[in-house]
Amino acid sequence: MTRTRLQEIGLGAMPFAGLLAAWWAITNLVHVSMATLPSPAAVWAAASGLWSTGELQTDILTSLGRIALGAGVSIVLGIGLGLIAGLNRPLGDLLLPLASFFNSVSGIAWIPLAITWFGLGTVAVTFIIVNAVFFLIFFNTVLGVRSVPRIMEQAVRTLGGGYRELILHVFLPGALPHIMSGIRSGLGFGWRALIAAELIAATSGLGFLIYDASNFLRSDRILTGILIIGVIWMIIDNLALKPLERRTVERWGTVRTL
Amino acid sequence: MGDGAHALIRLSLRLFVTAVAVVLALAALPLYGLATAGSKIDPRLERELGDGAYAYSVRVDLGFRPEYYHIRTLQSIGTVAGVQGDSVRLLQLTPDQVHQVAQLYWVERVEPLDDTG
Amino acid sequence: MATVRVEAAEAGRELGAPAGLDRLRRVLARAGRSLLPFALLLAVWWAVEIAFRLSPAVLPSPWQTISATWPLIQRGILPDYITSSLTRMAVAGLFGVVAGVPIGLLLGSNRYVSVAFAPFLNFFQALSGIAWLPLMLVWFGFGEKTIQAVILYTVFFPVAFNTMTGVRTVPLHYAHALRVLGADRLRLIRDVWIPGALPSILLGLRLGIAYGWRALIAGEMVVGAGGIGFLLFQARSFHQTDRIMDGMILIGLLWLLIDLGFLRPVERATVERWGMLQR
């Protein structure tokens, strides 16, 4: 690890350390009720408690399962439909305005309808996640496919390539930087939609954990949940999505992404 | 600085016009309610309002079965005592509050509440 | 060269159909093409509803959905709720932007400070305001303040973060060049940093408002203090699915209003004034 990288990490930790210090100071020096602002120690105790009963693990796994499922469905649908809409102009002209409008009906607005159709639970939550993630992947796939220079397609065709070769060797790789970018931003919306959906439409998961805790004024549990929600997304984004996006651009992209 | 100002002014104007259009569209019906408020109050009630008493009880006719929204809105003005068909009984209103109720454009009429009612 | 081209164009126009009619035909064709997908959607919707004989509580017909609008307006619900939602979005969003841009500029003006705050701002941007809703409920209860606090938070961080990183991307020699010519800090902010950071600032604005809008809807569903999100939530309790779908369409239209009426003009004006916007 280079010295500048170490410097970066050190500097980056400072605001967090400052926040933690301020938090500790406020709760230990000023009289603040447990409901308003529990001390760091109280939050740690709540976290350990939830961990020891297994509740925390269950909730984390439930939420991760739902986002994975939602992401998987969205990626398959998004790339699939995106390829079709990108390659076939008339179909694209049909699908794109519809997709734009449905995208405006932000995923979260689907929550009451999802509850009506699927009741509370994983199906509803996953449905809502797909509604939040799918569109960005779809749009970016279309953009990526359409931005592949025609000459590549023509080259493969003159060499006798059929549709399968074209898709596998020209369009998918060509569109990959855009697709990866779409997956990353889409999942950003998806993670938010997951929490919102679990707040309202579920009886398990991290979103439900913090909402349930608020009904009992258990701010220590709320903060535990909030921190874990933030940390998990940081891990997913920084350790998986961002490097993946960067490597895809390095490998396949001179095209600027959305 | 000169040429930048033109674009900025044009942009601000454009945003302002859009905002004004939205505000007008949303304010149209409430303003209509304000304008027609006087005609909704029953003349008997109108005369009583000059009394100087504090707490008036009224029957608010809506022309449709009241929903949660209407109960809650009326509750924020007075005290809702009950719902009968298309009407809501509202108590403890000052004369100003009676007018406030009449100004709601979805209210049809404001009648005095007889003690037998 | 230029004169030849102009003459050719004019000649072509004379040979063709009258310009006015031609243009009208083109506008109508384009309008038809944009509406065709939605017409098809309505047709499919209607067909599904008939084919599967679904009850109106599960899938109302297009007509039932649209006709739910008039009673909502007539009974005072819709104008009030839309006003609440838009007001919350406007006020809290404005505060978020007004706080986010200067703070972003400030943090971005120093290399070490910006490196220090990048992970911090990124973390709180990722931690959506919706996750803070339960804590805000404990602090502020089920009221207006809760919703606005959540929106303010949600808008602030993307704006601040993107503004800060935008300032960092401005090549140093621009600032140096102006400083050599005697510019003070204010001049630098106005003529170097803001224009240079503008694409990022606008990206932050768009992200912030998009996230904030979703936080608004979610917040209204949970807090229950009126608003279009609450309309949807309540309609579900009473199995008024036609109202739910009507409300969803309205939410889509309201977002289009925000996007096309406010965000796009700002972005387009920037291209006009400062050149190509790289997205």
DSSP string, C67-92: TTHHHHHHTTHHHHHHHHHHHHHHHH
C-facing residues of A in 176-235 (CB < 8 A) are 188-189, 191-193, 195-196, 199-200, 207, 210-211, 213-214, 217, 219, 222-223, 225-226, 229-230, 233-234
- Close Cβ partners of A248 (under 8 Å, ≥ 6 residues apart): A176, A177, A180
Q: What is the mean pLDDT of residues B4-18?
A: 86
Backbone φ and ψ of A41, nearest 5°: -65, -40
| Measured distance CA(C145)–CA(C272) in Å, rounded | 38
Whole-prediction pTM value? 0.87
Q: Is B70 in contact with C76 (Cβ distance < 8 A)?
A: yes
Tokens (6 digits) for B63: 């022309």
Q: Is residue C91 a contact partner of residue C176, using CB atoms and an 8 Å limit?
A: no
Taking only the tens place, the pLDDT of each residue in A92-150 is 888 888 898 899 888 899 999 999 999 999 999 999 999 999 999 999 999 998 888 88
Range of weakest confidence among C8-12, C27-31, C196-200, C260-264: C8-12
C20 pLDDT more than 50:
yes
Taking only the tens place, the pLDDT of each residue in A223-241 is 999 999 999 998 998 888 8
Facing residue for C77 by CB, picked from B22, B26, B69: B69
Same-domain pairing of C143 and C234: yes
Q: Is residue C100 a contact partner of residue C156, using CB atoms and an 8 Å limit?
A: yes
Q: Is residue A153 a contact partner of residue A170, using CB atoms and an 8 Å limit?
A: yes
User: With the C-alpha atoms ordered C199, C204, C209, C211, is the resulting torsion angle positive or negative?
Assistant: positive
The CA distance from A153 to the nearest CA of chain C, in Å, is 26
C-chain residues within 8 Å CB-CB of B4? 273
The CA distance from B108 to the nearest CA of chain C, in Å, is 10
Same-domain pairing of C217 and C105: yes
- C240 part of a folded domain: yes
Q: What is the mean pLDDT of residues A248-253?
A: 74
Q: Which chains touch C (3 or more CB pairs under 8 A)?
A: A, B
Tokens (6 digits) for A91: 């179909």
Q: Is B11 in contact with C86 (Cβ distance < 8 A)?
A: no
What secondary structure letter does DSSP report for A240?
I
Q: Is A256 in contact with C278 (Cβ distance < 8 A)?
A: yes
What is the share, in percent, of chain A residues with pLDDT greater than 90?
52
C6 pLDDT more than 60:
no
The length of chain C in residues reads: 279
The CA distance from B49 to the nearest CA of chain C, in Å, is 26
Q: What is the mean pLDDT of residues A237-256?
A: 76
Q: Is residue B57 a contact partner of residue B95, using CB atoms and an 8 Å limit?
A: no
Q: What is the mean pLDDT of residues B12-39?
A: 91
C1 pLDDT more than 70:
no
A-facing residues of C in 201-230 (CB < 8 A) are 210-211, 213-214, 217-218, 221-222, 229
Average pLDDT value for chain B = 85
> CA dist C139 to A23, B46, B91, C85, C208, Å?
16, 44, 33, 21, 23
Q: What is the DSSP string of B40-108?
A: HB-HHHHHHGGG--S-EEEEEE-SS---HHHHHHHHTTSEEEEEETTEEEEEEE-HHHHHHHHHSTT--
Q: What is the DSSP string of A107-137?
A: GGGGHHHHHHHH-SSHHHHHHHHHHHHHHHH
pLDDT value of position B34: 87
Same-domain pairing of C119 and C144: yes
A81 pLDDT more than 90:
yes
pLDDT value of position C278: 44
Contact flag for C and A (3+ C-beta pairs < 8 Å): yes
A254 pLDDT more than 60:
no
Range of weakest confidence among A224-233, B13-22, B44-53, C31-40: B44-53
Please give the helix or strand (H or E) that residue A194 lies within, else none: helix A172-201
| Measured distance CA(C38)–CA(C17) in Å, rounded | 31
User: What are the beta bridge partners of residue B59?
Assistant: B89, B111
Q: Is B26 in contact with C265 (Cβ distance < 8 A)?
A: no
| Phi and psi based region of residue C208 (left: phi greater than 0; alpha: psi -120 to 50; beta: remaining) | alpha
Q: Is residue A132 a contact partner of residue A186, using CB atoms and an 8 Å limit?
A: yes
Same-domain pairing of C46 and C68: no
pLDDT value of position C14: 52
Q: From the CA atom positions of chain B, what is the Rg in Å?
A: 20
Range of weakest confidence among A190-199, B92-101, C152-161: B92-101
pLDDT value of position B3: 59
Which CATH number does B3-112 carry? 3.30.70
C117 touches chain A (CB under 8 A): yes
What is the share, in percent, of chain A residues with pLDDT greater than 70?
97
Note the ipTM here.
Answer: 0.88
Taking only the tens place, the pLDDT of each residue in C85-99 is 999 999 999 999 999
| Measured distance CA(A143)–CA(A13) in Å, rounded | 38
What CATH number has the domain bearing residue C235?
Answer: 1.10.3720.10
What secondary structure letter does DSSP report for C238?
T
Same-domain pairing of C86 and C212: yes
Residue numbers of the domain that contains C26 = 2-51
| Measured distance CA(C255)–CA(A105) in Å, rounded | 8
A91 touches chain C (CB under 8 A): no
pLDDT value of position A257: 39
pLDDT value of position A166: 76
**Which residues of B make CB contacts under 8 Å with C?**
3-4, 7-8, 10-11, 14-15, 18, 22, 26, 29-30, 62, 64, 67-70, 73, 104-106
C-chain residues within 8 Å CB-CB of A200? 218, 221-222, 233
C277 pLDDT more than 50:
no
Same-domain pairing of C39 and C129: no
C120 touches chain A (CB under 8 A): yes
Range of weakest confidence among A170-179, B39-48, C53-62, C105-114: B39-48
Q: Tokens 């009507």 — which residue?
A: C246
- Domains recognised in chain A with CATH numbers: 41-252 (1.10.3720.10)
DSSP three-state, residue B94:
coil
Taking only the tens place, the pLDDT of each residue in A28-62 is 888 778 778 888 999 999 999 999 999 899 999 99
Top pLDDT among B42 and A61 is at: A61
Range of weakest confidence among A7-21, B70-84, C16-30, C88-102: C16-30
Tokens (6 digits) for A15: 């605001």
Nearest CA in chain B to C87: B23
